[in-house]
């Protein structure tokens, strides 16, 4: 057996810090001064679909809320490094397939009940229950039986998550997966209070029932207004949590978010309109945080029957006509980089790939796009008509309008439809679009995290992309233990998807945050994850 190793030092954001070092350094840096306790107000990008980790919608802002309320076996420090969470330590079998976790003796739910191994077993059972349709289930397919259970297969093997005793959890994988511990910091790997789920079923998250094991626990949820949470006195590190509580306000209007921030109504705004970057640099320089991030911005292209984008020629034409450099420079203010592939540059042990044709001069690309649409049967007497859906922000609107204008010379007629975030992503999941705005922020630093959402059975595969060749390459990569050989398989898989024009990549994103300069403990990181347990504000701020 091997005790938890230091995660590969070559990975920029995925180093596992030893518990003793983490405890000493963080306790020293973040010891609580009671005079600085306060309630933090965060402007998040939308409203969570649920506080039930098996029923979340897969949006980035759910991390802001559920990351504070729940703690998995592994968690994140302020710099985005992986450290022990609800588990105090773990051992790994010599063949790398069995992880044995020891839960903290002082890990409790907010109602005082102890966090036990059964809580994690039930959480994973619910995650892989087909009835829940959990969007992140596939992320944990390395666990033995996870995929078969999620797909409802009758001969599914026993799920590889087992309670050895109250404070010992054993997880068995299909094959060695070196990055597996980093997955366990994802909110979907959080435990559930089995004593409440057994009593209340799916209603366990109602405010008069819920208990959480993170640094904070919710007290109220006013839909489309805010979620209020208070400090959880039962949290194992409660003595070093400086804040009294956190209020989460859905702010989809970026201009309104900026106004509320300037007026002191919000301490953090988790995004701002990129066209305000220069103004912010001049007027609020100490509040602006712009940092590299493993994230992409793209448009899903619906490949289901009955949609014009089911024709590869149409998808290629649309991609060729997009002026990504113009979007990055003019609409996004030069703070992002144009994307020619789906996996962003900077992902560890991976070389960025390029969609065929995007390296050609623009006039050649437009000519080819016209030819492709003509071959597909579209022209002046039969124009291509598209519906383009986007979530409501000013930047998303400007990009959607720009795409419609870029496609207009091809004779494309584009109907723009917008909705708030939760509704938008529900429509994408239901396939009610031809072209739909999407984005992906890395859950962990690996190309498979991006490419995985294009697999045929992924709930995040909004466009319904289906390629046996792509799926086979991804399956081979998941079984490959040689890192270099695995990289080649993943790169080949991306080339397959790009040659199929599976999506329309637009740009590689950066994190954009407004942070009260008086706030202590904030550190920019490539995952753009920021747990409130590490933050503090002056009293009465």
| Overall average pLDDT of the 450-468 stretch | 95
pLDDT computed for residue 30 by the predictor: 39
Residue 384, Cβ density class (10 Å: 0-12 exposed, 13-18 middle, ≥19 buried): buried
Q: Could you give the CA distance from residue 493 to residue 472 in angstroms, rounded to a whole number?
A: 9
Q: What is the pLDDT of residues 157-196, one digit of tens each?
A: 999 999 999 999 999 999 998 889 999 999 999 999 999 9
* Rounded (10°) angle between helices 362-375 and 312-320: 160
Q: Where are the alpha helices (DSSP H) in 311-355?
A: 312-320, 324-326
With a cut of 70, say whether residue 534 has pLDDT above it.
Answer: yes
Q: What percent of the chain has pLDDT over 90?
A: 80
Confidence of residue 421 (pLDDT cuts 50, 70, 90): confident
Edge-to-edge strands, sheet with 98-103: 2-3, 87-92, 98-103, 168-172, 161-165
Asked whether residue 213 carries a pLDDT value surpassing 70, the answer given is: yes
318-327 average pLDDT score: 98
Q: State what percent of residues in the chain have pLDDT above 70.
A: 93
pLDDT of residue 24 exceeding 50, the answer is no
Decide if pLDDT at 332 tops 80: yes
Q: Which helix (H) or strand (E) holds 89?
A: strand 87-92
Q: Check whether 31 has a pLDDT greater than 60.
A: no
Rounded-to-integer distance, Cα 215 and Cα 69, Å? 6
| pLDDT digits 0-9 by tens, 34-67 | 344 699 999 999 899 999 999 998 788 999 999 9
Give the residue among 63, 305, 300 at the shortest CA–CA distance from 190.
63
Q: Give the CA angle between residues 219, 224, 228 to the nearest 5°.
A: 20
What tens digit of pLDDT does each residue of 283-297 get? 999 999 999 889 999
What's the pLDDT at 540?
A: 60
Global confidence as pTM: 0.79
Is residue 142 predicted with pLDDT exceeding 60? yes
Q: Is the pLDDT of residue 25 over 90?
A: no
Mean pLDDT, range 81-89, rounded to an integer: 96
Interval 233-254: pLDDT, tens: 999 999 999 999 999 999 988 8
pLDDT at 541: 59
Tell which residue, 438, 443, 375, has the closest CA to residue 82: 443
Residue 10 has pLDDT above 80, yes or no: no
Spatial separation of the C-alpha atoms in residues 124 and 120, rounded to whole Å: 6
Q: Mean pLDDT over all residues of the chain?
A: 91
528: helix, strand or coil: coil
């Amino acid at each position: 057996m091997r005790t938890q190793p230091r995660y590969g030092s070559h990975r920029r954001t995925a180093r596992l810090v030893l518990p003793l070092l983490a405890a000493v350094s963080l306790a020293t840096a973040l010891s609580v001064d009671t005079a600085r306790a306060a309630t933090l107000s965060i402007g998040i990008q939308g409203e969570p679909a649920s506080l039930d980790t098996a029923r979340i919608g897969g949006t980035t802002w759910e991390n802001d809320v559920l990351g504070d309320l729940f703690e998995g076996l592994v968690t994140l420090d302020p710099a985005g490094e992986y450290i022990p969470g609800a588990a105090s330590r773990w051992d790994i079998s010599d063949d790398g397939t069995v992880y044995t976790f020891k839960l903290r003796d002082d890990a409790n739910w907010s109602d005082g009940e102890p966090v036990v191994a059964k809580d994690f077993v039930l959480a994973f059972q619910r995650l892989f229950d087909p009835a829940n349709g959990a969007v992140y289930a596939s992320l944990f397919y390395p666990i033995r039986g996870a995929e078969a259970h999620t797909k409802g297969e009758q001969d599914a093997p026993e799920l590889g998550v087992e309670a050895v005793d109250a404070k010992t959890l054993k997880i068995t994988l299909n094959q060695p997966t070196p990055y597996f511990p980093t997955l366990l910091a994802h909110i979907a790997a959080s435990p559930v209070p089995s004593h409440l789920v057994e009593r209340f079923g799916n209603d366990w998250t109602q405010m008069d029932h819920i208990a959480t094991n993170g640094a904070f626990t919710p007290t109220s949820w006013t839909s489309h207004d805010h979620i209020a949470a208070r400090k959880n006195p039962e949290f194992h590190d409660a003595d070093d949590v400086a804040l009294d509580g956190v209020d989460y306000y859905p702010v989809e209007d970026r201009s309104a978010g900026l106004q509320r921030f300037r007026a002191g109504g919000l301490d953090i705004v988790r995004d701002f309109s990129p066209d305000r970057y220069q103004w912010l640099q001049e007027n609020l320089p100490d509040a602006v945080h712009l940092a590299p991030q493993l994230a992409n911005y793209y448009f899903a292209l619906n490949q289901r029957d009955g949609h014009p984008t089911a024709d590869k020629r149409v998808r290629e034409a649309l991609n060729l006509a997009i002026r990504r450099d113009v979007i990055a420079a003019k609409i996004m203010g030069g703070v992002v980089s144009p994307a020619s592939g789906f996996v962003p540059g900077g992902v560890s042990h991976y070389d960025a790939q390029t969609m065929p044709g995007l390296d050609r001069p623009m006039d050649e690309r437009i000519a080819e796009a016209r030819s492709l649409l003509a071959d597909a049967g579209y022209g002046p007497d039969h124009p291509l008509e598209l519906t383009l859906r986007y979530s409501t922000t000013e930047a998303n609107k400007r990009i959607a309008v720009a795409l419609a204008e870029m496609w207009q010379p091809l004779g494309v007629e584009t109907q723009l439809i917008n909705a708030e975030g939760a509704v938008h992503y529900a429509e994408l999941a239901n396939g009610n679009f031809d072209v739909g705005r999407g984005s992906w922020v890395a859950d962990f630093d690996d190309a498979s995290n991006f490419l995985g959402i294009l697999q045929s059975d992924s709930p995040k595969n909004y466009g319904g992309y289906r390629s046996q060749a792509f799926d086979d390459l991804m399956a081979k990569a998941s079984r490959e233990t040689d890192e270099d050989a695995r990289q080649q398989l993943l790169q080949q898989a991306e080339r397959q998807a790009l040659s199929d024009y599976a999506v329309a990549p637009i740009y590689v994103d950066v994190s954009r945050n407004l942070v009260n300069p008086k706030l202590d403990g904030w550190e920019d990181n490539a995952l753009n994850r920021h747990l409130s347990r590490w933050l503090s504000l002056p009293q009465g701020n």
